[in-house]
Amino acid sequence: MGDISLPTPLPAPTWPNRFQHVDTLLDHPGPSTDPNFIGSEAVQCFLCEDSKVLIISTGGLGCEILANLALMGFADIHVIDMDTADTIDISNLNQQFLFRPKDVGKPKVIVTAEFIMSHIPGTKVAPYLCPDTYFGKIQDKPESYYMQFNLIVCRLDNSVKARRWMNATPVAMVNPDMPESLKLMIDSGTEGLKGQARVILPSIMSCYECSLDMLNKQTVFPICTIVNTPRLLEHCIKWVSMLEWPKVFPDKKLNTDDLEHIQWLFMHTSTHTHEFKIEGITWSLTQGIVKNIIPTIMSTNVVIAASCCTEAFKLMTNCAPRLDNYFMLIGEMIDMPVKKEWMLERLIRALVERQDIQAKKPSLSVNGCSLYLQAPLQLECATCPNLEKKLVNLVNVGDELMVMAGLLPFNLTPRVLLKD
Residue closer to Zn ion (CB basis): 210 or 259: 210
The distance of closest approach from Cβ of residue 26 to Zn ion in the complex, given in angstroms and rounded to an integer, is: 31
Which residues make beta-bridge pairs with 336? 416
The distance of closest approach from Cβ of residue 200 to Zn ion in the complex, given in angstroms and rounded to an integer, is: 8
Residue closer to Zn ion (CB basis): 76 or 187: 187
The distance of closest approach from Cβ of residue 147 to Zn ion in the complex, given in angstroms and rounded to an integer, is: 20
Residue closer to Zn ion (CB basis): 35 or 176: 176
The distance of closest approach from Cβ of residue 185 to Zn ion in the complex, given in angstroms and rounded to an integer, is: 11
Rounded CA-CA distance 153/63 in Å is 12
The distance of closest approach from Cβ of residue 187 to Zn ion in the complex, given in angstroms and rounded to an integer, is: 11
Residue 224 — left, alpha, or beta (φ > 0 → left; ψ -120 to 50 → alpha)? alpha
Query: Of residues 48, 130, 224, 381, which has the active-site annotation?
Result: 224
Verify whether residue 224 is a known catalytic residue.
yes
In order of 160, 350, 352, the CA distances from 355 in angstroms are 28, 10, 8
The distance of closest approach from Cβ of residue 38 to Zn ion in the complex, given in angstroms and rounded to an integer, is: 32
Rounded CA-CA distance 327/173 in Å is 26
- Burial of 101 per CB tally in 10 Å (0-12, 13-18, 19+): exposed
The distance of closest approach from Cβ of residue 364 to Zn ion in the complex, given in angstroms and rounded to an integer, is: 40
Residue closer to Zn ion (CB basis): 209 or 380: 209
Angle between helical axes of 60-72 and 108-119 (0-180°, round to 10):
30
Residue closer to Zn ion (CB basis): 162 or 302: 162
Residue closer to Zn ion (CB basis): 143 or 209: 209
φ, ψ (nearest 5 deg) of residue 183: -100, 115
The distance of closest approach from Cβ of residue 174 to Zn ion in the complex, given in angstroms and rounded to an integer, is: 12
Residue closer to Zn ion (CB basis): 210 or 227: 210
Question: To the nearest 10°, the Cα dihedral for 287, 288, 292, 293?
Answer: 130
Residues that bind Zn ion (CB under 5 A): 207, 209-210
φ, ψ (nearest 5 deg) of residue 399: -60, 145
Residue closer to Zn ion (CB basis): 209 or 335: 209
End-to-end CA distance of the chain: 63
Which residues are the active-site residues? 224
